[in-house]
Structure 1
Amino acid sequence: MSDQPTPGTALNPVARDTELSATTWELITDATPDSTRRAYRDDWKRFTSWCAQQDRAALPATAETIAEYAGHLALTRRAPSTIGRALAAITKAHETAGHGKPDRRGATEVLRGYRRRHAQAGRATRKAPALTITALRAMVATLDPDTLVGVRDRAVIVVGFAMGARRSEIAALDLTDVQPHDEGVQVTVRLSKTDKGGRGRLVALPYGSNVATCPVRALSEWRTTLAHHGRSDGPLFLRIDRHGRLGHVATGKGSPAGRITGETVAAIIRRAALRAGLDAAAAFTGHSLRRGFATAAYAAPDADLVRIARHGGWKEGSAALFGYIEEVDQWRKNPAAGIGL
């Protein structure tokens, strides 16, 4: 809705104080990544549907309503992380609508109690397995270098691993984000989950010692392939349909530019893991690249935790990053070792 009055009419000051222009709404929308926005939208639809069934108000929702909904999700055996995201979606909807943060104290207690029951029942939180260098090489070996899909998937997997990137960061890359350097390539990550201000980060990718898993060579081959198809700008990684068409998008589906999604990144990784016959291949996700990079980088000689965090875009003191390196340290620096047991 425009904030400009219709010619010949007086502007209603009350309406102007309570309305947002289309431009403002667009900026609010752009503040949230596409994948998060889609998840929040689906969570909000489920919440409003449940409220309608229970004859409760969804907006603004009372503390009791939100707590009851959290309890409903727990009773239907949703994962704790799913419940946490649903609460975040409810909060986001209230804030965007101008109602401020809703009272989630009761819902938070419900979630805390549910997490305890979840742990006591032996249902551990499902984690994406970390991709090792050995597994990475096995996956890349299954890809056909003479096909569009093979060249693209190799670049997605190898570059994503070398960057320690989130799947959304991989999907969001443009051709102009990749610049050659004497030592390799520099990749600009313009937006990420922990970079709310959009400051971006520069990731340096050096040449690899193994030709098959070298991120610089993988990127070069993919960019050469894109150039042969007349692609010199736009998304770095494009959809390839079952007919082998590059960047083709069915009407009304996906990015108009043909960009892959974070879900596509996860599918590429899982597909390669299954073909390679890896243990627990079906559990591999886009996060397996990021987790694998963190553990491999930390296990390397002269590992620098600060540099690892900056490279992968982890916040200082990130609990997630410390969790990954603990998998390395639990044996390499085990406090029970060497105490005379």
Structure 2
Amino acid sequence: MLDTLPRDLRGLRDRAILLIGFAGGLRRSEIVSIDLCTDDTPGIGGCIAITEDRAVITLPGKAGQGKVEIARGTNDQTCPVHALTQWLHFAKIDDGPIFVGVTRDGRRATGRRLGDKHVARLVKQTAQAAGLRPDLPEAQRIRLYSSQSLRSGRTRTAAPDPAPA
């Protein structure tokens, strides 16, 4: 799916969206609500801090703040942290929303936060362009891949077994 994206500013952004969303197992609304916070002020929907070896996303939740840690990968082509830092660098984003629109000419980030429907369209378009599941009819393939597909990357940890009595 990543190979179907253009090698421009828009492609950098969309690559970061797909990789961060999959690695963090995030909902599309969580992806677009994350802010790059330079202080302790929480963002609207979440805050991301990037260190040398990982990105830590703090998300509000029903039971308080939750943290999602995304480790840096060994291959820059598929590393979510590398993709995000590349996007932030070339889009010149220092704080505020991390996933924003790009001007029509593709040269600048607009500063206007993307809506969650962008993530849904992105997943469907890239899955279709990548030709995933060619054994299925096109209509069925389109329904099969949605932004919910990114959540399948979520790492689940089981609660420890209770101690024997």
Does TM, normalized by the shorter one, top 0.5?
Answer: yes
SS of the residue corresponding to residue 2 of structure 2 reads helix
1:240 equivalent in alignment to 2:75: no
Any idea what the Cα deviations from partners look like across 1:299-328, whole Å, max 9, x if unmatched? xxxxx3349xxxxxxxxxxxxxxxxxxxxx
Q: 2:49 is matched with which residue: 159, 162, 179?
A: 179
Any idea what the Cα deviations from partners look like across 1:95-121, whole Å, max 9, x if unmatched? xxxxxxxxxxxxxxxxxxxxxxxxxxx
Which is higher, the Rg of structure 1 or of structure 2? 1
Call closer, same or farther: CA 1:234–1:281 in 2, change over 3 Å: farther
The number of aligned residues is: 144
SS of the residue corresponding to residue 212 of structure 1 reads coil
Output the aligned Cα RMSD.
2.2
Structure 1 segments of 4+ aligned residues over 3 angstroms from their partners: 245-248
How far has the Cα of 1:245 moved from its partner? Answer: 6.0
- Structure 1 partner of 2:124: 270
1:160 equivalent in alignment to 2:21: yes
- Higher RCO (C-alpha under 8 Å, 6+ residues apart): 2
1:305 equivalent in alignment to 2:158: yes
Task: Indicate if the aligned counterparts of 1:156 and 1:237 stay in contact, CA closer than 8 A.
Answer: yes
Counterpart CA distance in 2 for 1:172 and 1:217 is 20
How far has the Cα of 1:293 moved from its partner? Answer: 1.1
Counterpart CA distance in 1 for 2:52 and 2:109 is 31
How far has the Cα of 1:142 moved from its partner? Answer: 1.4
SS of the residue corresponding to residue 217 of structure 1 reads helix
Call closer, same or farther: CA 1:242–1:215 in 2, change over 3 Å: same
Counterpart CA distance in 2 for 1:144 and 1:200 is 35
1:282 equivalent in alignment to 2:142: yes
Identity %: 34
Any idea what the Cα deviations from partners look like across 1:158-202, whole Å, max 9, x if unmatched? 00001100110001011212222343221222x3xxx236x2222
Task: Indicate if the aligned counterparts of 1:143 and 1:150 stay in contact, CA closer than 8 A.
Answer: yes
Counterpart CA distance in 2 for 1:306 and 1:156 is 29
- Structure 2 partner of 1:216: 81
TM-score (norm 1): 0.39
How far has the Cα of 1:235 moved from its partner? Answer: 0.7
Q: Mind listing any 5+ residue stretches in structure 2 that lack a counterpart?
A: 38-46, 134-139, 161-165
How far has the Cα of 1:221 moved from its partner? Answer: 0.5
Q: Mind listing any 5+ residue stretches in structure 1 that lack a counterpart?
A: 1-138, 249-256, 299-303, 308-341
- Structure 2 partner of 1:116: none
TM-score (norm 2): 0.76
- Whose strand proportion is higher, 1 or 2? 2
SS of the residue corresponding to residue 100 of structure 2 reads coil
Task: Indicate if the aligned counterparts of 2:9 and 2:107 stay in contact, CA closer than 8 A.
Answer: no
How far has the Cα of 1:259 moved from its partner? Answer: 0.5
Counterpart CA distance in 1 for 2:147 and 2:17 is 10
Q: Equivalent residues in 2 for 1:91-170 (5 A)?
A: 139-145=1-7, 147-170=8-31
